[in-house]
Structure 1
C-alpha cells in the first residue's frame, strides 16, 4: 500500500529534525565539503558526524564521492538549498514577530521584565 504524500512529507521533515543534519545542510549550501572540514565546522566526534551523514545520504538529499583518501559531500540538488533558505526566512519572521510581541507585552506591563541574572548563572528568585 503506498504511503500518503502527507506521511512521506512528515517522514522527510522528521529526518531533517537533527541539529547536526541541519548544520551539514547549511554548510553544503556553499558547495561540496570534505568530511574533515565539516568536522571542524560542526565540532562533533567523527562517528557522530558519520552517522548523520549516512542518514542524509540514505535519504538522497546529499551525495558523496571519494577523492583519494578524502570523502567529499555535496547537496544532491538545489531544492535542498532552497528549503534551507526558506526555513531561515520563516524562522526569522516568526522570531521577529515573537520579539515584537514580547516588547509590546513588556511595554503594557502585562509581562514582567526578564529576571535579573545572578552571578552564579541562576535567575534571581529561581528555584534551587
Structure 2
C-alpha cells in the first residue's frame, strides 16, 4: 500500500461517525440494525458511512437472510496499525542542533 493510499484510509477513518463504527465493530461481525441502535444514530446515517467504509475496503459486508452484517477487513487494519505505530528514528547529528547534516 502506498503512502497516498494509507493517508486516504486515515482520512476516511478521521470522521467521528466512521471512527465510532470501526470501534463498535472491533473483531466481530455486527448487523446494521444493531449498530445504529447501539450508536444512537439514524439508520440512514450509519448506512451512509458504512458505504464509504465498504468502498474503501475498511469493512466487508455479508448478507444473512434479510440482514447485512459488517466486519473489519483485518489485514488492512493490521497494516494501518503498523503504519501508525511509533518507530525508532535515528538521533539527529549531534554537531547540528537543527538535525541537518
Could you say whether these structures have the same fold, taking a TM-score greater than 0.5 normalized by the shorter chain as the test? yes
Change over 3 Å in CA distance of 1:82–1:26 after alignment to 2: farther
**Cα shift readout 1:86-127 (whole Å, capped 9, x = no counterpart):** x7x99xxxxxxxxxxxxxxxxxxxxxxxxxxxxxxxxxxxxx
Partner of 2:98: none
The alignment covers a number of residue pairs equal to 84
Counterpart for residue 30 of structure 2? 33
Residue 30 (structure 1) shift: 3.9
Which of the two has greater helix per residue? 1
Q: What TM-score do you get using the length of structure 1 for normalisation?
A: 0.56
Where structure 1 has 5 or more consecutive residues not aligned to the other structure, the ranges are 91-128
* Root-mean-square deviation over aligned CA pairs: 2.5
What residue is the counterpart of 2:49 in the other structure? 52
Unaligned ranges ≥5, structure 2: 87-101
TM-score (norm 2): 0.70
Distance 1:81 1:39, change over 3 A: farther
**Paired residues of 1:61 and 1:75 also in contact (CA < 8 A):** yes
Structure of greater relative contact order (alpha carbons < 8 Å, 6+ residues apart): 2
- Tell me by how many angstroms 1:49 deviates: 0.7
